[in-house]
């Protein structure tokens, strides 16, 4: 058992003065090895933090894009939610077409028209007025379909227009 430490654990050099030995992670390094270790360590740190920075930037970018997408989705769905809450369209059991209409289809089936007719009349609207409103809605939908085909209308405008049309339909 040596009473005096004088050996470098890395390059095994001996007779090193105590003050020139540096303790690193449990081993003792001579001056030369210690300097090498520090240079490597610094390089490693730079590399690691460099990667970290990149990862952080990427994460932030992803977050921003996710948030952007989430917001635009919210924006798109808002008018629809509003329609469903304020002016629920009549539900026809088992009718896939009706679901489609709610999900952006711009077409009213005969069944849907009949259903609307019944509901509007039940709300105390005059029969002729009900017919007129359904006729107007059908025409507006036709018009929207045309605009959509010709790419003259954006998704947002489309939702807004549909909402306006439905408000008109249910107004007293
Ligand atoms: Zn050494």
Q: Max CA-CA distance within the chain?
A: 111
What is the Å distance from ligand 1's center to 22 Cα? 10
The model's pTM is 0.38
What is the Å distance from ligand 1's center to 47 Cα? 25
What is the Å distance from ligand 1's center to 33 Cα? 4
What is the Å distance from ligand 1's center to 163 Cα? 79
CA 97, 88, 85, 138 dihedral sign is positive
Q: Which residue has the higher pLDDT, 9 or 43?
A: 9
Determine the average pLDDT of the residues in 68-79.
Answer: 68
Residue 166: name the closest of 74, 96, 80, 75 by CA.
80
Does residue 21 register a pLDDT over 90? yes
What is the Å distance from ligand 1's center to 13 Cα? 6
Does residue 144 register a pLDDT over 60? yes
What is the Å distance from ligand 1's center to 143 Cα? 85
Does residue 1 register a pLDDT over 80? no
List the structure tokens of 106: 């711009």
3-state secondary structure of 22: strand
CB 141 within 8 A of CB 60: no
Taking only the tens place, the pLDDT of each residue in 78-130 is 554 444 444 455 554 444 444 334 435 677 788 888 888 888 888 888 899 88
Which segment, 27-31, 37-41, 60-64, 116-120, is predicted with the most confidence on average? 27-31
Indicate the average pLDDT of the chain.
75
What is the Å distance from ligand 1's center to 30 Cα? 4
Annotated domain spans of the chain:
1-79, 87-170
Does residue 51 register a pLDDT over 70? no
């Amino acid at each position: 058992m040596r009473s005096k430490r004088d050996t470098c654990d890395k390059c095994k050099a001996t007779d090193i003065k105590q003050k020139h030995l540096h303790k690193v992670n449990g081993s003792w390094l001579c001056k030369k090895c210690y300097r090498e270790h520090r240079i490597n360590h610094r390089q490693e740190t730079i590399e690691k933090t460099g990667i970290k920075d990149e990862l952080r930037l990427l994460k932030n970018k992803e977050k921003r894009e996710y948030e952007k997408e989430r917001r635009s989705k919210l924006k798109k769905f808002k008018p629809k939610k509003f329609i469903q809450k304020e002016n629920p369209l009549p539900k026809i059991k088992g009718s896939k077409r009706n679901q489609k209409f709610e999900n952006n289809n711009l077409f009213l089936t005969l069944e849907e028209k009949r259903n609307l007719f019944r509901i509007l009349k039940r709300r105390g609207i005059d029969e002729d007025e009900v017919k007129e409103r359904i006729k107007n809605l059908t025409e507006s939908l036709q018009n929207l379909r045309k605009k959509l085909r010709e790419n003259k209308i954006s998704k947002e405008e489309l939702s807004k227009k549909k909402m306006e049309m439905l408000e008109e339909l249910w107004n007293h």
